[in-house]
Amino acid sequence: MEVTVLCAVVACLRLLPSRSQFFQYENVVLSCEGNSTEWRVRRNTSKQINELCPSYSIDSRCIFNNVYEHDSGVYWCESEAGERSNEVNITVTDGELILESPEHPVSEGENLTLHCRARTSFSSLTHFYKNEELIGSSSTGNFTIQSVSKSDEGLYKCNVSGLGESEERRLAVRGCSPQMPTAPVAYIVLPVVVCILLLFVLMLLCLFRNHKGRLDRSVSYTDVTISQEGKPQRISDVGSVPTLYSGVMPDSS
């Protein structure tokens, strides 16, 4: 099972092989991957606290030609300025079997596969136990738990005839966050859309009123004199006397 690495912004601690459990006498390389070669591997073990990697080190790597049980502990990268990377909990066993399981809690509903790794090849069935009770057997060395739940928490180990059994590994399950009550999508989306439209209309009205007010304040007034030219008179009209007309009635006698 590969190690899930949570990288810091500046550096990551990576392992080769990419796992956190090893057999005694295995070769293991720990490397600090970052933006500088000033990173060094440090560890906390049962014997030493905040110890610089004692094995052969080159650049930002720590190389174990052989790991031993006393090398079990917490490892990380640290810079000269005191910055730290992610931590990895490494376990070394002198047994013949290792049960590979997640280091961190598993979320409810996920599928989980446990793998029984042997120091040497074998053809026998692998038996898996939870809290000392047999829960299944496999010819591939794998055991899958479908849709993990809180009831799956406990201590797990594997056993192979002729090779013995692995150390127990604790499985922790993280509960899912409570879900919102289900409701038709329309009941949720429609009010939201209506509110957005109302806000949009109100914003337009406010903008219109502000714009209109600025236009009214910008109007200026001034006195305007309007002159009207008279219609020019003709020469024949100048000095003329008005003509009078009268009617003549005939005498009836």
Is this model's pTM higher than 0.75 or not?
A: no
Model confidence pLDDT, tens digit, residues 83-129: 899 899 999 999 999 999 988 899 999 999 999 999 999 989 999 99
Model confidence pLDDT, tens digit, residues 13-54: 999 998 999 999 999 999 998 766 688 999 999 999 999 988
Could you tell me the residue ranges of all domains in the chain?
1-94, 95-176
Which CATH number is associated with domain 1-94?
2.60.40.10
Task: Select the CATH number that applies to the domain covering 95-176 from these four: 2.60.40.10, 2.60.120.620, 2.40.160.50, 3.30.1360.120.
Answer: 2.60.40.10
Model confidence pLDDT, tens digit, residues 156-213: 999 999 999 999 999 999 986 544 444 555 556 777 888 898 888 888 888 877 776 6
Task: Tell me, yes or no, if the two domains 1-94 and 95-176 fold the same way.
Answer: yes
Q: Find out whether 31 and 39 touch, Cβ atoms under 8 Å.
A: no
